[in-house]
Amino acid sequence: MDQRERSLARVACCGIVAPVVTSDSFVQTQGAEPAALSTAVRWHDTTAVVTVVGEVDMLTAPQLDEVLAEVLDRQPAKLVVDLTEVGFFASAGLSALVAAYQQAGGNTALRVVATNSATVRPLQITALDRKIPVLPSVDEAVSGG
């Protein structure tokens, strides 16, 4: 376990006690509903799972960029980006995944979990799913090769 995470909150998840880093941002639009994105990072040994909840667009993608870069800096063997709870995924989000793919290089196996059309369609249309394996569940992404 990374020493830098000792100060972080510990929660039980899925039978595994893991440090959790969460960050919420609400990008306020003028007089309208905010575009909200929250991310959480969990470590299972050398695998990092980044859970993304909300909408990934021009406003919120930089936050995803930042989280993925920070996690990849720690050189996990595998990084799973869970987009199950993402309801809108624009090209800015695809760019964030491409940047992560490039940063991961040969050091980190990058996986995406996507189950709804809002995320699966953009990944398929741009053929990014041919570069980054897209799986239907976190369990499969974590345990698979």
Partner 1 sequence: MCESGEFPGSGRGTEPACWEAVPADPAHFPAIRRELGAWAAGTGADAARVEAIMLATYEALANVASHAYDSSGVVEVHAHVPTESRVEVVVRDRGRWRPPSTSSADDSAPGGRGLVLIRSLADHVEVSTGAGGTTVRMVWNR
Q: Which is nearer to partner 1, 43 or 101 (CB)?
A: 101
Q: Which is nearer to partner 1, 76 or 122 (CB)?
A: 122
**Shortest Cβ distance from residue 16 to partner 1 (Å)?**
34
Q: Which is nearer to partner 1, 17 or 26 (CB)?
A: 26
How many DSSP H helices and E strands does the chain contain? 4, 7
Strand order in the sheet with 47-56: 10-13, 16-27, 35-44, 47-56, 78-89, 109-113, 134-135
Question: Residues interacting with partner 1, by CB under 8 A?
Answer: 27-35, 55, 57-59, 88-92, 94-95, 98, 117-118, 121-122, 125-126
Query: 117 is written with which tokens?
Result: 């059309």
**Shortest Cβ distance from residue 95 to partner 1 (Å)?**
7
Contact between 128 and 93 (Cβ < 8 Å): no
**Shortest Cβ distance from residue 126 to partner 1 (Å)?**
6
The residue whose two tokens read 């990374």 is 2
